[in-house]
Amino acid sequence: MDFLQNHIEALIFCSPTPVKLADIKACLSEMFNADVPEEDISNAITRLEEKFASDEFAFQLNKANGGYQFLTKPAYQASIGILLKQQSKKRLSTSAMETLAIIAYKQPISKTEVENIRGVNCDYAVQKLLDKGLVEIKGKGETIGRPMLYGTSAKFMEYFGINELADLPVPKDFTTEINIIGESTDLKDSDAQA
């Protein structure tokens, strides 16, 4: 039985947010009243990752936002999704999701800039995202009126299971080719040769 590994497992399990290696080290050092080497902690975390990778467990150790947390495995997402859907009456609306996506990809960004992209007023959506802690104020703009600038929070990273903004999906390239109904490719080729 690995005493250190069990303590680390308990710390990660009980934390509502991803636990960083430095926080684990500080907690264990205080508990044992001695310095616990980071290498020992990293090795224990690696063993935990291997342990929970087994099909025996419904959850796995995941690295997110620079820390570690337990998350359920993708195979169980359907049943969990049904449960959460039944329990949750306050899911993000389509407008809130659109606003959040714009903020995530364009941050730091002012509310006016978000509204220009969306084409509608975003006061309510931005306020809901602030209330849920997915967005936070990052500062003030240099433009007239010094508007508030918004960006995503650490809770956003945790909520979407990403470690850094570079992990956000990249929008696929869209082709600008216009298809004309009824026009065959042979006609295009013959027009080009003429």
CA distances from 125 to 10, 66, 171 (A): 37, 28, 22
Q: 32-88 pLDDT, tens per residue?
A: 899 999 999 999 999 999 999 999 999 999 998 889 999 999 899 889 888 877 766
**What is the per-residue pLDDT for 171?**
65
- Topology match between the domains 3-76 and 94-167: yes
Compute CA 147 distance to the chain's CA centroid, rounded to the nearest angstrom: 26
Is the pTM higher than 0.75? The answer reads no
Q: Which CATH code fits 3-76? A: 1.10.10.10
CA distances from 30 to 10, 33, 36, 42, 74 (A): 16, 5, 9, 18, 36
Pairing of strands 67-72, 148-152: unpaired
Is the confidence at residue 173, as pLDDT, over 50? Answer: no
- Domain range annotation of the chain: 3-76, 94-167
For domain 94-167, which architecture applies? Answer: Orthogonal Bundle (1.10)
Q: 102-151 pLDDT, tens per residue?
A: 999 999 999 999 999 999 999 999 999 998 899 999 999 898 889 999 99
The whole-angstrom separation of Cα 124 and Cα 117 is 16
